[in-house]
Amino acid sequence: MASATDGIQQLLQAEKTASEHVGEARKRKEKRMKQAKIEAQQEIEKYREVSGVAILSPHLHMQMYQEREAQFREHETKHLKSTDDVSVRIEQDAAEKLKRTQYIASLNKGKVIEMLLKLTCDVTPRLHANVRE
């Protein structure tokens, strides 16, 4: 029986030692995390000083985005013509090109008909080059 209690005592002692090691490891990890957080904060401050850029909260960032978008829309309406004007101009340009093409076709219509008739009606029969006489 004494050996059984000695074995239990050894197990309890081993469990206590393991628990202490785990606790120490947790403390070391916590200390490293705090140090990393401090270093990251210092890095952020250094970046802010160098670049002059402030890191904003999401709410402020969204507000700045909306303001910038409103400025862009205002600029767009001032400096660009509306899409209706563009579509009207495209239609006018297409109509002008169509009229010009029809005019050029009417000028050359007689010549084209004469050329087609000559090529189809005035055929001179010849033997093919591969045919032997």
pLDDT in tens, 65-116: 888 889 888 887 777 766 667 788 889 999 999 999 999 999 989 999 999 9
Q: Is the per-residue pLDDT at 122 higher than 80?
A: yes
Is residue 77 situated within a structural domain? no
CA distances from 72 to 5, 51, 64 (A): 82, 25, 12
Question: Any idea how long the chain is?
Answer: 133
CA 74 – CA 90 distance, rounded (Å): 25
The domain of 88 spans 82-123
Residue 10, both tokens:
């050894």
CA 56, chain centre distance (Å): 24
Is residue 65 situated within a structural domain? no
Angle at 58 between CA 55 and CA 61, to 5 degrees: 70
Is residue 133 situated within a structural domain? no
Query: First CA to last CA across the chain, in angstroms?
Result: 129
CA 28 – CA 32 distance, rounded (Å): 6
Say yes or no: 6 and 39 in one domain.
yes
Domain count, the chain: 2
Model pTM score: 0.35
**Percent of the chain predicted with pLDDT > 90:** 44
Residue 51, both tokens:
């670049």
